[in-house]
Amino acid sequence: IQMTQSPSSLSASIGDRVTITCRASEDISEYLNWYQQKPGKAPKLLIFDASTLERGVPSRFSGSGSGTDFSLTISSLQPEDIATYYCQQFDNLYTFGQGTKVEIK
Amino acid sequence: QVQLVQSGGGVVEPGRSLRLSCEASGFSFSAFTMHWVRHNPAKGLEWVALISDDGRTTHYPDSVNGRFTISRDNTKGTKGTLYLQMNSLRPEDTAVYYCVRDDEGFDSWGQGTQVTVSS
């Protein structure tokens, strides 16, 4: 299963609403997770099962979608959100998207 | 708290072997499926191997199948060790490797260890 994220990178201002999309090459129901990775650090689980917020993750992060189309939204971008974000399907083994790098404008 | 402490890694020539280890503590190790995931800045994240909680089931992507072997030691009570034996290494295996716990997502990650395959 191929996972395609868009955009590959984005630049936004503090306080902006940011949306990242992820498309699966076939129906994966809600078998999708989202991760945040900062430079030199291990990835961090943000959202599991497409829309469930992991414990301790700020509520400005949210996930939605099912089937083949999914999105991760940051409702109000904060400086600490600068990172690369990855989607991951687990319907058939595991595949990550290519990543979306979020920068501050 | 959950701790995954990795060791191993380094620089190795193409065709050689390397073994990574991951010492787990702070949770009931034998109750969880575990994985290895690698990160290459140019390629992003790639899942490398899975092993079931009891060690009886393993899976690999085509890119490493037949060259890498995941295993685990569940005999230390609540603690445990995860291994990744990497044979016939190729330059494209160069990456930071992470051991990962699977609990409704890849919820806990080791600190990562660099593997560089180069002559």
Q: How many CA atoms lie within 13 A of B58 on its CB side?
A: 16
Q: What is the pLDDT, as a whole number, of residue A54? A: 97
**pLDDT, tens only, B67-101:** 999 999 998 877 899 999 999 999 999 999 999 99
Q: What is the pLDDT, as a whole number, of residue B77? A: 77
Q: CA-CA distance, B101 to B50, in Å (whole number)? A: 10
The encoded tokens of residue B7 equal 């060791």
**pLDDT, tens only, A61-71:** 999 999 999 99
Beta carbons within 8 Å of B15's beta carbon, 6+ residues apart: B88, B89
Q: Which residues pair with B81 in a beta bridge?
A: B23, B73
**pLDDT, tens only, B5-42:** 999 999 999 999 999 999 999 999 999 999 999 999 99
Average model confidence (pLDDT) across chain A? 97
Q: CA-CA distance, A60 to A79, in Å (whole number)? A: 13
Query: Measured between beta carbons, which residues in chain A are less than 8 angstroms from residue B46?
Result: 96
B107 and A CB contact within 8 Å: yes
Could you say which DSSP state residue B27 is in? S
Of the residues A96, A98, A100, A101, the best mutation for testing chain B's interface (the one with the most B CB atoms within 10 Å of its CB) is A96
